[in-house]
Amino acid sequence: MLAFAFGLLAEAIGLHIILGAYVAGLFFEDKVAHPNLVRIVKDRAYGIAYSFLGPIFFISLGFSITFDISASTVGFIALLTITVIVGQIISAGGMALRMGMPPREALTVGVGMCGRAEIAFILASLALAQGAIGQSTFTTLIFTCFLLNLFTPMALKGCAVLLQGKAAHQVDATRGVVQIDKFDEPLVEERYQGQLLHKLPDLSGAVVIYGFGPEVASLMSELDSRDIPTVVIEEDEIVARRLHARGEKVVHASLAEGDLDLQPLTEARALVANGDDEYNALFALSARELGFKGPIVALIDNPNRRAPLQLAGATTAFTPSHVLAASVAVRASARIGPRITGVQPLGNLLEVVEIRIHDKSPFAQKTLAESGILSDTGVHVVGQWVDDALHSAPSVDQLLRPGMILVVAGSPDSIKRLSEIVRPITREGRIVIAGYGDVGIKLVEMLKDADEEVCVIDNTEQSGVDLVGDILDTGILERADLATARVVVLACENDSATLLAATVVRDYAPDLPIIACVALEDNIARIQQAGADFALSVSQVSGQLLAHHILGEMVSQQAHIKLVKRVAGSLIGRHPLDSGIREQTQCTIVAVERAGEVIMDISPSLVLAEGDDIYICGTIDGLNRFYEAFPI
């Protein structure tokens, strides 16, 4: 009735009835209407639409088709079909390629857009009924749509062969970039309906996860690599079928309805609650009442519910979006997460900056030795960012490629000489946050607590937003003075938006550091390829915390480069930079203290003497190698 009512309303205001019916259909999605209502409406409408109304419509189309067509018309149908296929692949596939998808996946997107659905048939029949087209033209369009609908599934089957092992599984299209799944299994969901478990199996030594999502995807991969069994309790039937199709052991059941016997939980190794907060509490409480003694980790939406969850039986509870915000804050602000720890004894004598190697950089495509960074400026390269983590400095023969970010240390004069050659990443200025959702709000709170200047951009006008607009709008970027910002953090609503925003921001400000908050770990490489320098996913950070609580492994998001002071010891009589320290340990001597004077600019004639102290910079592992190779 609602579809008919909206259709009549559309016709009354001068639109076609189909537009009103389409709008009515939008109200019957899980995110708009209650899931039970959606299920009931689909059950009632499915049989009527596909068994009665649909066949009548297509039979009526058949009566309007004429088979009295010439050879030239057949040729035109073939030409039109090929034109549509090529046009869709170039347009849709080209845009997918522009957004950072690999060529094979981009081709699959273009092929998938070639199919014509019911709307195309309806529009053609309307045009015929209104006299806009003749019967021969109508026949041409219908045959073209028919050929396109034959081509698309067969071509997608071929694309599946190209994507074999190349494409990532789609976890949740509303939470990240839509990823292409393999088509080596039938696309009929009912195939898996009878195979879904509805009761818990033997859980001896298994980790049980209540509620699947990006927050637990990384943990599941880690457990699988260690041959630790995992069982997922999932209430959403579509998600449960998708997990089952991927080979995961999943139980489709509802806690609220009480139709699942939870007694087997007592044999599990650990429990992870990743549903709504109230159901997480029910899950934890039920497990404790049955006698489960192991760890229960709850992932909650509202941090104020941490204490109630622990009262219900959870060992610990945390909010994944806030953990991601904290990890990003450490990377965005040197006040929160200093790049090098232990520099206090040198005071203002030592400066630490980062330089980004871009395409036009004088250091690009040269080895560290060929770049002359040390010989020309006196600055020491002490670290580099690799895969969003701080690592040891590159070796002297390592090629400096565009996109690398080097951490360098030296005296103020040497840093000044460096700045005359390249522009270091500034440590001052505003931090621009694009997106003011859960991650953005917590990130802004942390940065302001550290007295950082923050500019927030969001599409919605609300308290805390400085600029209302689209991050893809260059006018908004100009108003935010993005070119002079210290860093931009992309905290967009989903990975697709983040991918496009990274592309636009990188094109607008080639040297600006970009940090991206990502939902799915599989999308990190794609977003970095689009222009982001650093990308952290909620799956990564929550997975690390979950692994810590379940497997007992310590994880940290902090920088791992330190500066330590040591006596010269066994290095006496040698030049600090010819000592072999860097080659053996990947550590660097950045200063020498002699008779109370700190020497930052180490001259070629300097030789370490008795009583000298050296300042060594390196990672924790590098410093441990130094202690073993050069004992006092």
Question: What's the whole-number mean pLDDT along residues 77-91?
Answer: 89
> CB–CB of 614/571 below 8 Å?
yes
pLDDT band at 27 (very low <50, low <70, confident <90, very high): low
Segments making up each domain of the chain, as ranges: 2-162, 195-318, 431-551, 561-629
Q: 320-332 and 438-449 helices cross at what angle (nearest 10)? A: 40
> CB–CB of 542/216 below 8 Å?
yes
Residues recorded for the chain: 632
d(CA 501, CA 497): 6
**For residue 170, pLDDT beyond 50:** no
Question: What's the whole-number mean pLDDT along residues 486-492?
Answer: 92
Weakest-pLDDT range from 46-60, 400-414, 521-535: 46-60
> CB–CB of 443/489 below 8 Å?
yes
- For residue 133, CA distances in Å to 74, 140, 346, 453 come to 18, 11, 83, 62
Question: Which architecture does CATH list for 561-629?
Answer: 2-Layer Sandwich (3.30)
Higher pLDDT, residue 529 or 204: 204
d(CA 9, CA 1): 12
- Residue 551: the pLDDT is 81
Per-residue pLDDT reduced to its tens digit, 53-64: 667 767 776 767
> CB–CB of 459/468 below 8 Å?
yes
- Residue 38: the pLDDT is 62
Beta bridge partners of 243: none
The torsion angle over the Cα atoms of residues 316, 320, 326 and 328, rounded to 10 degrees, is 150
Beta bridge partners of 399: 367
- Residue 119: the pLDDT is 67
Looking at domain 195-318, what is its CATH homologous superfamily? NAD(P)-binding Rossmann-like Domain (3.40.50.720)
String of DSSP letters for 369-397: HHHTHHHHH--EEEEEEETTEEEEPPPTT
Indicate the pTM of the whole model: 0.54
> CB–CB of 354/424 below 8 Å?
yes
Beta bridge partners of 234: 252
Side chain identity, residue 260 = L
**For residue 518, pLDDT beyond 80:** yes
Name, in order, each residue with C-beta under 8 angstroms of 32's C-beta and a sequence gap of 6 or more: 26
- Residue 176: the pLDDT is 39
d(CA 520, CA 476): 27
d(CA 498, CA 264): 41
**For residue 85, pLDDT beyond 70:** yes
Q: How far apart are the first and last CA of the chain?
A: 87
- Residue 559: the pLDDT is 44
Question: How would you classify the pairing of strands 613-619 and 588-594?
Answer: antiparallel
d(CA 265, CA 270): 9
Question: Domain 431-551: which CATH class?
Answer: alpha beta
Which pair of tokens denotes residue 190? 């009912």
Per-residue pLDDT reduced to its tens digit, 197-231: 899 999 999 999 999 998 898 889 889 888 999 99
> CB–CB of 435/490 below 8 Å?
yes
d(CA 205, CA 243): 21
**For residue 513, pLDDT beyond 60:** yes
321 sits in which H/E element: helix 320-332
**For residue 521, pLDDT beyond 90:** no
> CB–CB of 203/265 below 8 Å?
yes
What does the DSSP 8-state code read for residue 100?
Answer: T
**For residue 172, pLDDT beyond 50:** no
Fold: same for 431-551 and 561-629: no
Side chain identity, residue 340 = I
Burial of 170: CB neighbours in 10 Å, binned 0-12, 13-18, 19+: middle
d(CA 625, CA 223): 31
- Residue 189: the pLDDT is 41
Beta bridge partners of 431: 454, 487
Q: Using alpha carbons, select from 328, 306, 299, 317 the residue that is nearest to residue 444.
A: 328
- Residue 181: the pLDDT is 42
Weakest-pLDDT range from 121-130, 300-309, 363-372, 537-546: 121-130
Question: What's the whole-number mean pLDDT along residues 604-630?
Answer: 86
d(CA 327, CA 175): 20
